[in-house]
Amino acid sequence: MSVQEILNQIHTSISARSDRGEVATYIPELASVDPGHFGLAVALADGKHYTVGDAEIPFSIQSISKVFTLALALGMVGDKLWERVGREPSGNAFNSILQLEREQGIPRNPFINPGAIVVTDVILASSSPAETLAELVNFIRYAADDGNIYINEAVALSEKTTGHRNFALAHFLRSFNNLTHEPELTLGTYFHQCAIEMSCRQLALAGRFLINAPGVPQLISPDRVRRINALMITCGHYDASGDFAYKVGLPGKSGVGGGILVIVPGKAAIAVWSPGLTAQGNSLLGTEAVQALAQRMDWSVFG
């Protein structure tokens, strides 16, 4: 059976599902997204790609942006990043304040919110937020080979006006001397990176920089690709990372917009979008769809 036929079958079975999870409501602008959307895209190393469903509709990539900022931060400061952020699964909610206090302001990993806020603080360096965001969006556009990728200002503003927990985390980081800029400046940049919108097709194509195969755009070294993939599989789904590794067997990063980027090392990048979330903040049907796809394609990093 062809990749396209497999995608079509997955689309048909997902479309029939009535239990679709809950759309994120803590960012008001995301609360109005129709939970009925479903898109899926697979991009192979050579850029050939297959899509089904709402794969052309841009959605809020939210925490998937943390993969791209991590790549930029490692490019800027290398292993010095690990003096400020850990590399362990958190086992706690993505926005837990408790853990940050207990661990003296060193976030467990770069994908939970406080870790990602530190990463954004690193890429800000001495640039303005506008310059940093331009560099980030350009990196993503280049990776996707598509200039039609933008930040949704309304989503960024919506999160800024309601992001009390992220403000609390940023102030905590600052109190532990693990934030070099004012919390408002770093968070303003962070909210904008989360508000980048991409379609499944664009995201799968952009994700190819993490495949490590001949033919993919080599934006970072193969060694760094491996390390980012390791972090995705251990920490990419917050306190459900073990469950995702068990079910899907591939590195992935989710976002509360309902998207997931999944990497099949050496072979492909997958992007899925279904806005309804599990209690841990990961796309419910998105996870099921990539689980089915990985099984059908016999894709796993575990042999």
Residues belonging to the active site = 63, 66, 190, 238, 256
Residue carrying the six token digits 């993919």: 216
Q: To 5 degrees, how large is the angle CA 114–CA 193–CA 205?
A: 115
Mutual angle of helices 129-144 and 183-194, in 10-degree steps: 20
Say how far apart CA 66 and CA 72 lie, in whole Å. Answer: 10
Question: Which x/- pattern over 25-64 shows residues binding ligand GLU (rule: CB under 6 A)?
Answer: -------------------------------------xx-
Q: Is 132 in the site for ligand GLU (CB under 6 A)?
A: no
Q: Is 259 in the site for ligand GLU (CB under 6 A)?
A: no
> Cβ of residue 144: shortest distance to ligand GLU, in angstroms?
19
Q: Is 166 in the site for ligand GLU (CB under 6 A)?
A: yes
Window 73-112: residues binding ligand GLU (CB under 6 A): 94-95
Q: Is 159 in the site for ligand GLU (CB under 6 A)?
A: yes
Q: Is 194 in the site for ligand GLU (CB under 6 A)?
A: yes
Q: Is 21 in the site for ligand GLU (CB under 6 A)?
A: no
Say how far apart CA 133 and CA 157 lie, in whole Å. Answer: 15
Q: Contact at 8 Å (CB) between 186 and 121?
A: yes
- The correct pick among 39, 58, 255, 276 for binding ligand GLU (CB under 6 A) is 255
- The correct pick among 51, 113, 199, 234 for binding ligand GLU (CB under 6 A) is 113
> Cβ of residue 169: shortest distance to ligand GLU, in angstroms?
9
For residues 186 and 212, which CB has a smaller minimum distance to ligand GLU in the complex? 186
The token duo for 27 is 């960012």
Q: Is 276 in the site for ligand GLU (CB under 6 A)?
A: no
- The correct pick among 256, 263, 270, 292 for binding ligand GLU (CB under 6 A) is 256
Say how far apart CA 251 and CA 241 lie, in whole Å. Answer: 9
> Cβ of residue 295: shortest distance to ligand GLU, in angstroms?
25
Say how far apart CA 154 and CA 173 lie, in whole Å. Answer: 26
Under DSSP, is residue 263 helix (H, G, I), strand (E, B) or coil?
A: strand
Distances (CA, A) of 58 to 22, 33, 54, 204, 281: 19, 12, 9, 12, 19
- Please give the single-letter amino acid code of residue 106: I
Residue carrying the six token digits 């800029």: 181
Neighbours of 69 (CB within 10 A): 22
For residues 10 and 255, which CB has a smaller minimum distance to ligand GLU in the complex? 255
For residues 69 and 166, which CB has a smaller minimum distance to ligand GLU in the complex? 166
For residues 8 and 95, which CB has a smaller minimum distance to ligand GLU in the complex? 95
Helix (H) or strand (E) holding 14: helix 3-15
- The correct pick among 183, 276, 281, 286 for binding ligand GLU (CB under 6 A) is 281
- Per DSSP, the residues of 141-197 read HHHHT-S--EE-HHHHHHHHHH-HHHHHHHHHHHHTT---S-HHHHHHHHHHHHTEE
Window 198-227: residues binding ligand GLU (CB under 6 A): none
Binding site for ligand GLU (CB under 6 A): 62-63, 94-95, 113, 159, 166, 194, 255-256, 281
